[in-house]
């Protein structure tokens, strides 16, 4: 299989359930669970499945879902009847129960099953870390970072990440959560606002009036009230459109190295939302698969147990490229995959890959012309300065 070798050193597990792709948010909705099938197809075509343990993810149980969510909310998710998506174009439908049934979080057929499968995959991944059966556990069906304890938000109903971190905390003293989705990881941040055992770091586009969800300013580092141990443990890296691989990699490594040094995590959860890639339907960054993947590479190099989850990503072929490449990084197959950069001919759905079917398209191939970069080096320096100041309050 294209010179794919069995890597030594790391035990990697892959948690996936093909049932997830059978769920549809609706014709015009950007979230396409089918991107998971495309990813799995690419991973398999490169032969990477031989170099990791493959598990069919199970559905999370009611008790597992209520480890974070309220039973009122989970009961409603479990019993509510599917509804056709209403035309709620301005998003002002405020009479929704638990924020369900609007155009962002429609009540589609099989919703509870979809949520349980996403939660189950991330939870299985967490358990493999807890028992030390995996060093890196991958669950591309997870990463749904906006869901709140008792509310759906931004295409997310069940917060698989929070549920997985709660599991990790049974065994690991401190968990570092890193979020490279183009949106702010608000649900995870809020869930751990009052503990110093979880540090959350989100990189995102920030434009409070015009870009969802509008939170995640540089200065928001967790409530500082009443001796809150969680104060200073929320790190936010707000960015503008057009950021490039070079800047992002530089910023990521600068910020994460400082967080690791001060916080000394025992495990990492990395949310790899692929809507931060160039050419995404919702995101407007200039990141290539290489730049996005360099974050996975850097985290792997820290040598800590790690869960990798998915998240956003609205141009399915680019999502599959990135997540397959990142699976290759985790399994040490990166150079093999890059050397056979042409997507294998026997890839199922190969016709879906444009740009001459390369795995690592250039910015010109994706966009024609790169978007204007609205991030100055001066601003990036300010961000690092502020993060460094916050981290003075943090110790292991």
Q: Is 183 one of the catalytic residues? A: no
Q: What is the DSSP letter of 343?
A: P
Asked if 269 and 159 touch (Cβ cutoff 8 Å), the reply is no
202 binds, among Zn ion, ligand V1S, Ca ion, none (CB under 5 to 8 A by kind): Ca ion
CB atoms within 10 A of CB 255: 21
Asked if 100 and 150 touch (Cβ cutoff 8 Å), the reply is no
Least distance (Å) between residue 231 CB and ligand V1S: 25
Catalytic residue among 172, 184, 232, 233: 184
Least distance (Å) between residue 326 CB and ligand V1S: 17
For residues 334 to 373, the per-residue mask of contacts with ligand V1S, x marking binding by CB under 6 A and - elsewhere, is: ----------------------------------------
CA 235 to chain centre: 16
For residues 191 to 230, the per-residue mask of contacts with Ca ion, x marking binding by CB under 5 A and - elsewhere, is: -----------x-x--------------------------
Indicate the residue among 135 and 280 with the shorter CB distance to Zn ion: 280
Question: Quick check: 311 binds ligand V1S (CB under 6 A)?
Answer: yes
- How many CA atoms are closer than 13 Å to the CA of 303, on its beta-carbon side? 1
- Judged by CB under 6 A, the residue of 65, 129, 139, 144 near ligand V1S is 144
205 binds, among Ca ion, ligand V1S, Zn ion, none (CB under 5 to 8 A by kind): none
103 binds, among Ca ion, ligand V1S, Zn ion, none (CB under 5 to 8 A by kind): ligand V1S
Q: Which long-range contacts (CB under 8 A, 24 or more apart) does 379-386 make?
A: 379/240, 380/247, 380/250, 380/251, 382/218, 383/218, 383/237, 383/238, 383/251, 383/255, 384/251, 384/254, 384/255, 384/258, 386/218, 386/219
Nearest CA-CA partner of 111 in 150, 81, 147, 149: 81
**What is the greatest pairwise CA distance in the chain?**
60
47 binds, among Zn ion, ligand V1S, Ca ion, none (CB under 5 to 8 A by kind): none
Question: Quick check: 181 binds Ca ion (CB under 5 A)?
Answer: yes
179 binds, among ligand V1S, Zn ion, Ca ion, none (CB under 5 to 8 A by kind): Ca ion
Indicate the residue among 146 and 148 with the shorter CB distance to ligand V1S: 146
Helix (H) or strand (E) holding 335: helix 334-339
| Residues in contact with Zn ion by the rule CB under 5 A | 181, 183, 273, 275, 312
Indicate the residue among 23 and 35 with the shorter CB distance to Ca ion: 35
CB atoms within 10 A of CB 96: 16
| Catalytic residue positions, numbered | 184
């Amino acid at each position: 299989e294209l010179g794919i070798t069995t890597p030594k050193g790391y035990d990697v597990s892959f948690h996936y359930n093909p049932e997830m792709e059978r769920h549809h948010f609706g014709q015009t909705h950007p979230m396409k669970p089918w991107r998971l099938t495309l990813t799995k197809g690419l991973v398999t075509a490169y032969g990477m499945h031989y170099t990791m343990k493959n598990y069919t993810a199970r559905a999370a149980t009611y008790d597992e879902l209520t480890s974070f969510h309220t039973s009122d909310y989970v009961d409603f998710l479990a019993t509510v009847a599917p509804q056709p998506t209403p035309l709620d174009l301005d998003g002002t439908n405020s009479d929704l129960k638990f924020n369900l049934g609007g155009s962002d979080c429609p009540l589609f057929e099989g919703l509870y099953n979809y949520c349980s499968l996403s939660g189950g995959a991330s939870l299985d991944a967490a358990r493999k870390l807890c028992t030390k059966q995996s060093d890196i556990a991958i669950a591309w069906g997870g990463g749904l970072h906006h869901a709140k304890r008792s509310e759906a938000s931004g295409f997310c109903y069940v917060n698989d990440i929070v549920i997985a971190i709660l599991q990790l905390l049974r065994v690991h003293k401190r968990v570092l959560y890193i979020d490279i989705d183009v949106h702010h990881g608000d649900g995870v941040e809020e869930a751990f606002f009052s503990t110093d055992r979880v540090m959350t770091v989100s990189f995102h586009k920030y434009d409070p009036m015009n870009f969802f969800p509008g939170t995640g300013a540089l200065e928001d580092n967790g409530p500082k009230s009443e001796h809150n141990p969680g104060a200073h443990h929320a790190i936010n890296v707000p960015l503008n459109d057009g950021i490039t691989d070079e800047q992002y990699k530089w910023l990521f490594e600068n910020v994460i190295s400082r967080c690791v040094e001060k916080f000394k995590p025992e495990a990492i959860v990395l949310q790899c939302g692929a809507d931060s890639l160039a050419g995404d339907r919702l995101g407007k960054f200039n990141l290539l698969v290489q730049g996005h993947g360099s974050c996975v590479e850097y985290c792997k190099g820290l040598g800590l147990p790690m869960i990798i989850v998915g998240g956003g990503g609205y141009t399915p072929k680019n999502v599959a490229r990135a997540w397959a490449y990142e699976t290759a990084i985790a399994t040490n197959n990166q150079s093999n995959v890059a050397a056979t950069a042409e997507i294998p001919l026997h890839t199922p759905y190969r016709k879906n890959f444009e740009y001459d079917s390369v795995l690592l398209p250039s910015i010109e191939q994706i966009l024609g012309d790169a978007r204007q970069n609205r991030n100055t080096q001066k601003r990036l320096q300010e961000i690092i300065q502020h993060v460094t100041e916050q981290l003075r309050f943090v110790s292991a």
